[in-house]
């Protein structure tokens, strides 16, 4: 009887170790997908994560993300709600829900979730950028500027962030600051910045 119990305990431990390895591998894949600029690689990795670890935080995130990619926003929201309930400390899940709420034009709900994600991770670059964009779209330019500036502090010299800082300054009636940031964005390779520089910043002979 004791031998049978020991075997059972051993089997449970082996299963637990196996599950932990799978979850660790999924977490590593998720980070790779998060930091990748290749849409094809992101899709590949996130599809694999759903198959390998569907009930992990990363697996639920990827399920929701994939549903959104397929245009099933209802399923995406339902899945990300489960993620937020099951893994409240996983700030990327709250961030994803904020983005989905923004798609549904739920401005207060999206702002609330962006705020929650940032509170959990005060250096959450993407959350500051997307919240700033949401503020900008809703004509709260002063709040957008603050978020873009914070994002630029976290990861300096992102060409789109610097460009958006310039846009915010222009709308706030500060063309000199706008031009300064557009010059920086242009030097970083933002093509739109050059167009605005010619239009607003360079004197024509």
Is 2 inside any structural domain?
Answer: no
pLDDT score of 202:
85
Tokens of 195: 């167009």
pLDDT tens for each residue of 37-76: 999 999 999 999 999 999 999 999 999 999 999 999 999 9
CA distance 126 to 131: 8
Same domain, 72 and 128: no
Tokens of 106: 């739920």
> CB of 188 within 8 A of CB of 157?
yes
Is 91 inside any structural domain?
Answer: yes
Same domain, 187 and 137: yes
Domain boundary among 106, 132, 158: 106
Is 34 inside any structural domain?
Answer: no
Tokens of 6: 């020991």
Is 129 inside any structural domain?
Answer: yes
| Residue span of the structural domain in which 98 resides | 46-106
Write the CATH number for 160. Answer: 1.25.40.10
Same domain, 128 and 203: yes
* Cα-based angle 71, 76, 78 (whole degrees, multiple of 5): 140
pTM score of the predicted model: 0.88
Same domain, 141 and 197: yes
Is 161 inside any structural domain?
Answer: yes
pLDDT tens for each residue of 173-192: 999 999 999 999 999 999 99
Same domain, 131 and 195: yes
Is 137 inside any structural domain?
Answer: yes
| Residues of the chain below pLDDT 70 | 1-23, 203-205
Same domain, 187 and 150: yes
pLDDT score of 22:
55
pLDDT score of 94:
98
Same domain, 79 and 140: no
Same domain, 128 and 102: no
Same domain, 86 and 143: no
Same domain, 136 and 102: no
Same domain, 138 and 198: yes
Number of independent structural domains in the chain: 2
Question: Rounded to the nearest 10 degrees, what angle do helices 107-120 and 125-137 cross at?
Answer: 160
């Amino acid at each position: 009887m004791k031998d049978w119990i020991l075997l059972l305990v051993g089997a449970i431990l082996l299963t637990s170790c196996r599950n932990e390895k799978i979850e660790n591998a999924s977490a590593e894949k998720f980070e790779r997908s998060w930091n990748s600029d290749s849409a094809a690689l992101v899709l590949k990795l996130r599809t694999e994560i759903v198959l390998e670890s569907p009930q992990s935080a990363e697996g639920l995130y990827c399920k929701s993300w994939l549903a959104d990619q397929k245009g099933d926003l209802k399923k995406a929201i339902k899945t990300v709600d489960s993620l937020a309930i099951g893994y409240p400390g996983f700030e990327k899940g709250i961030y994803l829900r904020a983005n989905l709420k923004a798609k549904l034009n739920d401005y207060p709900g999206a702002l609330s979730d962006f705020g929650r994600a940032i509170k959990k991770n005060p250096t959450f670059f993407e959350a500051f950028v997307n919240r700033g964009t949401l503020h900008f779209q809703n004509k709260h330019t002063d709040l957008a500027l603050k978020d873009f500036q914070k994002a630029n502090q976290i990861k300096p010299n992102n060409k789109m962030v610097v460009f958006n800082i310039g846009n915010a300054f222009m709308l706030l009636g500060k063309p000199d600051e706008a031009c300064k940031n557009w010059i920086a964005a242009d030097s970083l390779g933002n093509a739109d910045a050059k167009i605005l520089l010619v239009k607003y910043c360079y004197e024509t002979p």
